[in-house]
Structure 1
Amino acid sequence: MKLFPGLSVKVAVLLVLSVFLGGCGSEQGPVRLQGRAIGTTYSILVYGLPENLTSESLDRGVKQVVAGVNSAMSLFKPDSELSRFNACNETDWFPVSRELAEVVSTAKEVNRMTGGAFDITVAPLVNLWGFGPDKRPEIVPSEAEIKQASADVGSNLVEVRLDPPAIKKLKPGLTLDLAAIAKGYCVDAVSNWLESRGVSGFMVEIGGEIRTRGTKPGNVPWRIAVEKPVSMERSVQAVISLTDKAMATSGDYRNYFEVGGKRYSHIIDPTTGRPITHKLVSVSVIDATCSRADALATGLTVLGPEKGAAVARKYNLSVFFIAKTADGFAETATGNFPKHETLN
């Protein structure tokens, strides 16, 4: 059954929960916007347009914001700021937009918080294991190949300044991959633009990363699905209420390959150069900004259940961990992660 044409099941489930769960609202339905951003899709629900906005002007404005983020951070656009920085082999300061500088700054902050588990310089290892844009056969690389690729990985190899905004390589061959933070940043950029236009009730979703503002009519909260971490079906593990916050989820349960009966995840630990092997399969982080939530979700996933939970408690982060057990799944929540309804 197609719930909304053109949307993945994951996003469709999320929209159904957001629109229909939690009681009745007003008779006036939401404005729905859909499109593509950062190599994925976006879905936006807005309730109560201000008088100075129409759905058409809203759509144009969102597309302009998305285009700006793409022009700064897309790896698919050869003329984007990020692509030009990656192609440059100089080690001088490289002027960029404030947006790109802020993303790199946030990435370095999360790198420090997670002890190197989140690293935007990990692309050589991702490509080596066959999960990057440079596709390669599903072959386990040798120790020598891992060591060679790891030599070009390290958050300490890139510097950033905000005034004037610029980033700098400390090693000529360094490349950045913002896939684990750019979607979250785009969610924030669109959300901030909506707020600046006086929109007080919305949900912005880009590639599964979400930020909400206000409530639906009748003071009904936004209800968001956490997907069940299984590869063979699309279903919901839990449902939470999310108000004036962002949530991002990271998981390793779909993108992987197997060799000799052993599974190799697409999530690479930058500190070892290898895919993660622990039982943590899904991490959802709630934070004030989606960019930080996005990066933290990946970093905590790399760390695993024990180390990830320890970091979450150290920084009082609101996190929902799902680990695989012999009997199914075990859930752990830290910080102020909201009470949720588990659908098992």
Structure 2
Amino acid sequence: MAAAVLRGDEELLTGRWWGLVMLAALCAGCGNGDSMESIGGPTMGSTWSVKYVRHAGLADPAQVRGEVEGILGEVDRQMSTYRSDSDIERFNALPADSCQTLPAAVLNLIRVGEQLSIQSEGSYDLTVEPLMNLWGFGPQGREETVPDPAALAEVMQRVGHQHLRIEGERLCKDAAVEVDFNSIAAGYAVDAIAIRLQAMGIDNYLVEATGELKANGKKLNGSPWRIALEEPRDDRQVAERIIDVDGYGVSTSGDYRSYFLQDGRRYSHTLDARSGRPVLHELASVTVIHPSALMADGLSTLLLILGPEKARDYAQKNDIAAFFVLRADTGFVTGTSQAFEQLMAAKN
């Protein structure tokens, strides 16, 4: 659940485990009939929120709420792994050598997932739902525990993007794979909401869904939307860095909110599809800033899986604006990609 703590004219909102916090001035009726509107509600087991500057003649909060809830409802019906009647779960229930007609949005996410899987040499993969369940983190997970090696080996036979193919409007599989969109669905939803707001004439907004967000324009008083990148702690919130955002999606993936301990070892929900096991390295969280919230969502997960050295190399090679937080003996240390520093410098 999101929590809100008022601090003067700012509101501190937290998303899900990956730890994004938003700082947004709340001001209403500040001249020319304009106002700052704020709406929100539950979605995907967490929350969503939209803040926007309403000029005279633009959509009122009730209209915007209806549009946003329509988009989120469609995403849930198409992509949720927590309802058996969603489009993707009906596909997941099919046996090997099956095909199913799916919406264009679902097929587009499959293509994005394939791209990220290839670029990560298979570390990132959308077909990890059986692994998530096996380790106790998925919708059908029964117990958070280290699985038996034989069970892990069996599940690994059903993991891998190479088992999927798109034929026209159909998604097909040659093994009993199960697709999990949790690493990109929220980012997709944020982009879809942003596009709808723009179509409604709303140019100044901050959209958030389950911690993924996108900001455009300015707040009512002309100041920028400000995002605090949170230190990866599970006991309290500490802002590592505060950035201005305009025209970008922001996503943070971290291993510090969903994990279990067994025999003195920490196992996070972030899985490497090549090994079928949780990642074990010092990289605690990654924030990616990208024009597409969808790509920021997927890339932050991909970089977290790769680990500190490979993630830095990948970000440098692909010109990705990334902010890294690593565990060290003395606490946490941070690092950035060149693209991140260039983006921050351009805003100053």
Q: Same fold (TM over 0.5)?
A: yes
1:316 has 2:324 as partner: no
CA distance in 1, matches of 2:28, 2:76: 37
Pairwise mapping of residues 1-344 of structure 1 onto structure 2 (< 5 A)? 3=5, 10-11=14-15, 17-19=23-25, 26=30, 28-49=34-55, 51-89=57-95, 91-160=97-166, 164-171=168-175, 173-337=176-340, 338-339=343-344
**Gap runs ≥5 in structure 1:** none
How many residue pairs end up in the alignment?
333
- Shift of the 38–165 alpha-carbon distance from structure 1 to 2, 3 Å rule, reads farther
Instruction: Report the alpha carbon displacement of residue 201 of structure 1 after superposing the two structures with TM.
Output: 0.4
Q: Partner letter of residue 96 of structure 1?
A: L
SS state of the match for residue 339, structure 2?
coil
Q: Partner letter of residue 286 of structure 1?
A: I
Instruction: Report the alpha carbon displacement of residue 226 of structure 1 after superposing the two structures with TM.
Output: 1.2
- Shift of the 106–268 alpha-carbon distance from structure 1 to 2, 3 Å rule, reads same
Instruction: Report the alpha carbon displacement of residue 246 of structure 1 after superposing the two structures with TM.
Output: 0.4
Instruction: Report the alpha carbon displacement of residue 249 of structure 1 after superposing the two structures with TM.
Output: 0.7
Contact persistence 1:210–1:248 (CA under 8 A): yes
Q: Partner letter of residue 307 of structure 1?
A: K
Instruction: Report the alpha carbon displacement of residue 291 of structure 1 after superposing the two structures with TM.
Output: 1.1
Residue identity over aligned pairs, in percent, reads 31
CA distance in 2, matches of 1:86, 1:333: 38
**Gap runs ≥5 in structure 2:** none
Contact persistence 2:248–2:289 (CA under 8 A): yes
CA distance in 2, matches of 1:111, 1:33: 36
- Shift of the 74–102 alpha-carbon distance from structure 1 to 2, 3 Å rule, reads same
When normalised by structure 1's length, the TM-score is 0.90
- Shift of the 53–9 alpha-carbon distance from structure 1 to 2, 3 Å rule, reads closer
Instruction: Report the alpha carbon displacement of residue 210 of structure 1 after superposing the two structures with TM.
Output: 0.6
Instruction: Report the alpha carbon displacement of residue 49 of structure 1 after superposing the two structures with TM.
Output: 4.0
Contact persistence 2:250–2:296 (CA under 8 A): yes
RMSD: 2.5
CA distance in 1, matches of 2:15, 2:123: 28
CA distance in 2, matches of 1:148, 1:229: 34
Q: What are the superposed Cα offsets for residues 27-74 of structure 1, whole Å, 9 maximum, x if unpaired?
A: 554211111223321011011346142221111111111111111111
When normalised by structure 2's length, the TM-score is 0.89
CA distance in 2, matches of 1:194, 1:242: 17
Contact persistence 1:38–1:182 (CA under 8 A): no
Q: What are the superposed Cα offsets for residues 4-23 of structure 1, whole Å, 9 maximum, x if unpaired?
A: 7xx99624997761226xx9
Instruction: Report the alpha carbon displacement of residue 336 of structure 1 after superposing the two structures with TM.
Output: 2.6
Instruction: Report the alpha carbon displacement of residue 165 of structure 1 after superposing the two structures with TM.
Output: 3.0
SS state of the match for residue 147, structure 2?
coil
